[in-house]
Structure 1
Amino acid sequence: MNAFNFQNKNLYAESVPVSDLMNLYGSPLYIYSKSQIEFNWKVFENSFGAHPHLICYAVKANSNLAVLNILANLGSGFDIVSLGELERVIASGGDPAKCVFSGVAKTENSIRKALEYGIYCFNVESEGELEQIESVASSLNVRASISIRVNPDVDAKTHPYISTGLTENKFGVSAEVALSMYKKASLSDYLDVCGLDYHIGSQITDQSPFIEALEKALDLIEELKSENIDLDHIDIGGGVGITYDQEKIISIEDYINRVISKVGSMKILAEPGRSIVGNAGIFVTKVEYLKQNDIKSFAIVDGAMNDLIRPALYSSYHEAVSIQEKSKGVTDSWDIVGPVCETSDFLAKDRELTLEKGDYIAILTAGAYGFVLSSNYNSRPRVPEVMVSEKSHSLVRKRETIESLFENETIFKDEVN
């Protein structure tokens, strides 16, 4: 399925012309497809079939309440990394009992609130965190369900900033340390050992690292059995890559079937994020000026790195298209750049496009790690988000105002007491 496609030389979001959305909601703008989100989630759901499982969408990929509500209505669980994300899930209609709490720096307050809400389990990242969870559970006189995140030391061969499964990364613990933690947790009156978790990175386009990590995790599970520690589930994390350019991506159905063939009857948790929402969103920006010199041509747009930072942060590629195919204008190889005062402020480089001032350019595959990583750098209000479903559409986040940027600030008054 591709929710964003050209019809009669005009880009559509499902059954709505993108030009109509720009005229109504203004520029820049994030646009999401409800049907694409549902389709992507169901690919995972259908791949598991009757095998016991829980799909926990990684909220950090896109945390808009409308996105979370769509997934909650499908029965999805959620992978959260902060109390704020947990509160978002609940506000959107999600079930805290289907939430796994990941992240390396869970605070005492966030642990307490998560226990009070009754989350599915904590993915424990360190020995100190295990002690903290036990302490908070003891103070509440409850049992905390825990899964220990094992760092399998597997090279996912992805961008180093989104690699999480190597010993040099901050995530998880070694198998040796995990074994010691499991033994300790199994003796506690306030900890319920329920699973094993691993996650090796993001935007992975080869099954091999996933299977290598799985086999290492299963070895540890066998060792735990010899210590009379039986687990209810294995959490295989997320990280399945999507197509931004010419990447050949893995078959989710084939990957899940391989996992099922190796784990027996054990329940499987998965934490997809990018693969659910990545191609379900676009970022659209308006050409303000065209500027050419002897060696470069710049399409200066009203969107910027503060709105979509992936190209600047990761040197990431996003396809860029004019929302209306036409012959009128200047045809050249353009760098699409924004107004932020940084040389790194670009959305795409060297793109063959025919452009005029006032045209709209769509940056594709921007549904994951787009708005959630946006900021107010250069005192720029964050842009609105719109959800489309067939012929209907609605604003799911308003455009910020300049006044809202400093409503929580005050001018210092130097008063002598």
Structure 2
Amino acid sequence: MDHFTYRGGRLHAEDVPLERIAEAVGTPVYVYSTATLARHFRVFDEALAGMDHVIAYALKANSNLGVVATLARMGAGADVVSEGELRRALAAGVEPGKIVFSGVGKTEAEMRHALDAGIAHFNIESEPELEALSAVASAMGVTARIALRVNPDVDAKTHAKISTGRYENKFGVPIDRAPDFYARAGALPGIEVIGVDVHIGSQLTDLAPFEAAFAKVAELTRRLRAEGHDIRRLDLGGGLGIPYQASNAAPPLPFDYGALIRRTVGDLGCQVVIEPGRLIAGNAGVLVSRCIYRKSGEGRDFLILDAAMNDLIRPAMYDAWHDIVPLTEPAPGAPLTPVDVVGPVCESGDTFAKGRSLPPVAAGEMVAFRSAGAYGAVMSSEYNSRPLVPEVLVNGAEFAVVRPRPTYDEMLARDRLPPWVG
């Protein structure tokens, strides 16, 4: 469910017509709904009610400070994968004791910053990383709490580029080697073993892979406790998918996901950490774009928009689908015509959809890419020297720009000419 609906023939974000935002801020523009963010956080919180749990929002999905602060005020923690994300989480008001630091390539500088901040724990992905963290923590005279990210070799049945739980993926330690790893961790100075971490992929639309992975985590937890490790926290990752295409079957609900967690690991008495990102932010955002031209080609028509692959790269990178709808509600029975929806970047890959059946959209009219709140703005770039897309947060009848569009002068000012050409 989201809060982007037609009212009086115009597409709204909560109580604000998207046209009003577009006219005030320009296009393309990302627009997020506070009510949708809040609702999606609450359904996860309610799904784990009665269990000791932390919902550590995955900042990689959407790290805008306005979005993160909205969730932090509801009690969310944060899953971060860089010092930059950690700084964003802290700046947005996330409690340090609810922040987990994931990722395969943490630097020693990032480790020091996280230890200074007092984060909840590190998810460790390799023995060299463990050794480095031990050295950093010992030199600082502090203790680093860790969970080992285990790779359970479970096929998440998702896109190859967002699968993380198979042995051929770069993430984690094979689960069969985990006991030896924990024995080593327990002997190192500056390290406190507190948990087990697992994450098998993103955009999962079936609970079966989760069940297989969580069952392996439960078995490992019992073995580790028998070997003397105080395992008291289970970080179960994220990955629950969203319905990008309205005609597709709905993915499992957070309630069903919560029931699965209770069934597989609920008897272990551990604090449960989950790291949802896409399901919280994905349907909470749209990308609004204006049609520049409608072009007739040989055997196909093109809808050329002012948004491009640098603004929303998911279709080019993952062959991802986003529903595309006009901001003006089509009349009942309006004819649908197949068009290729493309952007102005000088790449054939700058294509959002091929042969998409859409109602008439003329030059100057606007469309919205639905389900664009996750991995949209956060993955954008200034390719072709196109300014980053602004971000707007709506709250009821109000809206605010939470990241402005940079001017061309601001873009140019970030570069420096070397003295020999100045």
Short-chain TM bin: over 0.9
Structure 1 residue 368 and structure 2 residue 383: aligned? no
| 1:75 shift after superposition | 0.8
What TM-score results when the alignment is normalised by the length of structure 1?
Answer: 0.97
Q: What are the within-5 Å matches in structure 2 for residues 8-407 of structure 1?
A: 8-245=8-245, 246-263=248-265, 264=267, 265-326=269-330, 332-351=337-356, 352-407=358-413
Unpaired runs of at least 5, structure 1: none
- How far, CA to CA, are the matches of 1:189 and 1:173 in structure 2? 21
Aligned partners of 2:330 and 2:359 also within 8 Å: no
| 1:177 shift after superposition | 2.7
Describe the SS at the equivalent of 1:60.
coil
* 1:47–1:326 distance in 2 versus 1, CA, 3 Å: closer
Amino acid across the alignment from 1:369: Y
Aligned partners of 1:327 and 1:354 also within 8 Å: no
- How far, CA to CA, are the matches of 2:331 and 2:7 in structure 1? 16
Deviations 1:94-126 (A, max 9, x none): 112210000000000000010000000000000
Aligned partners of 2:326 and 2:367 also within 8 Å: yes
| 1:393 shift after superposition | 0.6
- How far, CA to CA, are the matches of 1:376 and 1:189 in structure 2? 44
User: Which range moved further: 329-338 or 225-234?
Assistant: 329-338
Deviations 1:29-85 (A, max 9, x none): 000000100000000001111111111000000000000000110111100000000
Describe the SS at the equivalent of 2:359.
strand
- How far, CA to CA, are the matches of 1:200 and 1:342 in structure 2? 32
- How far, CA to CA, are the matches of 1:410 and 1:140 in structure 2? 37
What TM-score results when the alignment is normalised by the length of structure 2?
Answer: 0.96
Number of equivalences:
415
- How far, CA to CA, are the matches of 1:187 and 1:161 in structure 2? 36
Amino acid across the alignment from 2:273: L
- How far, CA to CA, are the matches of 1:37 and 1:326 in structure 2? 27
- How far, CA to CA, are the matches of 2:89 and 2:157 in structure 1? 31
Aligned partners of 1:205 and 1:247 also within 8 Å: no
| 1:251 shift after superposition | 2.0
Unpaired runs of at least 5, structure 2: none
Amino acid across the alignment from 2:366: Y
- How far, CA to CA, are the matches of 2:123 and 2:331 in structure 1? 54
User: Which range moved further: 178-187 or 12-21?
Assistant: 178-187
Deviations 1:233-261 (A, max 9, x none): 11110000000011430021122112112
Aligned partners of 2:322 and 2:370 also within 8 Å: yes
| 1:326 shift after superposition | 4.1
Deviations 1:110-155 (A, max 9, x none): 0001000000000000000000110000001111000000000000
RMSD: 1.5
- How far, CA to CA, are the matches of 2:336 and 2:170 in structure 1? 47
- How far, CA to CA, are the matches of 2:362 and 2:264 in structure 1? 56
Aligned partners of 2:62 and 2:375 also within 8 Å: yes
Amino acid across the alignment from 1:394: A
| 1:226 shift after superposition | 2.1
Describe the SS at the equivalent of 1:61.
coil
- How far, CA to CA, are the matches of 1:291 and 1:163 in structure 2? 38
Aligned partners of 1:86 and 1:96 also within 8 Å: no
| 1:330 shift after superposition | 9.0
- How far, CA to CA, are the matches of 2:131 and 2:177 in structure 1? 14
Q: % of aligned pairs identical?
A: 44
Describe the SS at the equivalent of 1:55.
strand
- How far, CA to CA, are the matches of 2:325 and 2:253 in structure 1? 27
User: Which range moved further: 325-334 or 194-203?
Assistant: 325-334
